[in-house]
Amino acid sequence: MAEASTIGLVHAVRGAVVDVRYGGGDLPALNEALMVDWDQPGALILEVQSHLDRATLRAVALQATAGLSRGVSVRATGAPVMVPVGRAVLGRLLDVTGTPRDLGDALPPDTPRRSIHAAPPSLAAQGATTEVFETGIKVIDLLTPMAQGGKAAMFGGAGVGKTVLVMELIHAMVQNYDGISVFAGIGERSREGHELLTEMETSGVLPGTVLVYGQMNEPPGARWRAPLTALTIAEYFRDTRHRNVLLLMDNVFRYVQAGAEVSSLLGRLPSRVGYQPTLATEVAGLQERIASVAGAAVTSIQAVYVPADDFTDPAVTTISGHMDCVIVLSRALAGQGFYPAIDPLASSSTLLDPALVGADHHAIAGEVRETLARFAELQDIISLLGIDELGAADKRIVARARRLQRFLTQPFAVTEAFTGMPGKAVARADTLVGCRAILDGAADDWDESALYMVGTLDEARAKQAAA
């Protein structure tokens, strides 16, 4: 068998896709990393995606290719893209190749490295967990409880609060969460990345966190591989250090979008709605690696942009199929000032089971949903004829549903600078007590505003008494 050629020449450049031609021998393997020996500042790394013929391969660039010309030599590394892992990356901001981008010191030369491509743990090795992962956010803990070691996704269109919710979850969990946090910023705006870094430095959680960014201004190859870099770091702490890991991704839709860009540049025929034909495979390859093993859990919280608020979009439906907990953000609720703007009827969780959360929690959550669903059914009648045309029972349901809607709002710590209201984290037991009391009519005589943007029911009671 012929040895793989180590030196090739750039044959064609089409944006982020580069064709490399070799003189003889076997071509470098798929997913192998190639180094371009060019005269520009900074490294240019390519990842092999396909073999066009016996002498030519097609690769995706992980950095910008501006200034790259034909005839430049390309070296095969003999391995996939290798990124640094371990204690040295804690508190650092890295790019897709693991290079620090926080203006800090270079990583030590003895930092261990791992390939960004790995198989998921076998089913026999994976650990099933049913422990509730409390967030301190009332509507999530009540209606869509998260599992320690589970996967949760927040779906929403532009401007309904996905990133704010992710930042609040980070803030709420650092107080009582013992583990490593890994954040993947996929297609993030530079401003959002800077805000998150500043927020983590200020709150003192950066030493236990790794930030990996493939930003919006970077080539599609960087955005496409950034989540794999973050996942590789998370897998190291899970498998080698046996630490619990909180893996946050914002935004997984940008990962799919980058894959679609790469797919079209590689010359593949598009599939439904213009997405790549490998959509399901790529999403499964990412999501199946997010798994827990005995003794160490990887809990994943992912923000997913919904294009044009179309929840039937193929990318959205493909991603949601891998989730244990689906949190849907509603533009209508955001427009009415209900924050977090989580739709209680469209959101769901596999953990909302009496055997897992308890019969009391399950019953209260069911009654809250039933009350809010009946209120939604009555909206058309109220709009046409007015609330006075309803029967006494329906009037009571409407009054309690409106109070529940307001009670399930709460101020966030990350928005305190804008709202002037200090953030509130509410224990699950307090949320259940408050909802039970409202369902039983304890707040029927209160002003609705007393329940808006408070933490526990006691705070609402004090607000009502002061009014």
Distance of CA 434 to the CA centre of its chain: 30
Active site includes 424?
no
Return the DSSP state at 249: E
Residue type, 107: L
The set of residues, in sequence order, having a beta carbon less than 8 Å from that of 465 and lying 6+ positions away, is none
The set of residues, in sequence order, having a beta carbon less than 8 Å from that of 208 and lying 6+ positions away, is 90, 91, 174, 179, 180, 181
C-alpha closest to that of 134 among 150, 146, 149: 146
DSSP letter string, 86-103: SGGGTT-EE-TTS-B-SS
Angle 252-265/220-239 helices, nearest 10 degrees? 130
State the catalytic residue, choosing from 70, 87, 189, 272. 189
State the catalytic residue, choosing from 188, 218, 235, 459. 188
Beta bridge partners, 20, equal 10, 57
Structural tokens at position 256: 């799919």
Active site includes 403?
no
Give dist(CA 145, CA 373) in Å, integer: 19
Residue type, 129: T
Residue type, 49: Q
Q: Is 3 helix (H, G, I), strand (E, B) or coil?
A: coil
Return the DSSP state at 148: T
Give dist(CA 85, CA 265) in Å, integer: 31
C-alpha closest to that of 370 among 344, 337, 393, 343: 344
Size (the chain), residues: 467
DSSP letter string, 42-96: S--EEEEEEE-SSSEEEEEESS--TT--TT-EEEEEEEE-EEE-SGGGTT-EE-T
Phi, psi of 21 (to 5 degrees): -110, 140
Structural tokens at position 67: 């200034």
State the catalytic residue, choosing from 162, 223, 238, 424. 162
Token look-up 């160490």 returns 296
What is the chain's Cα-based Rg? 25
| Pairing relationship of beta strands 73-80 and 7-14 according to DSSP bridges | antiparallel
Structural tokens at position 174: 């650092």
Burial of 89 (C-beta count, 10 Å sphere; 0-12/13-18/19+): buried
Active site includes 241?
no
Q: Is 229 helix (H, G, I), strand (E, B) or coil?
A: helix
Give dist(CA 234, CA 68) in Å, integer: 34
Active site residues: 162, 188-189
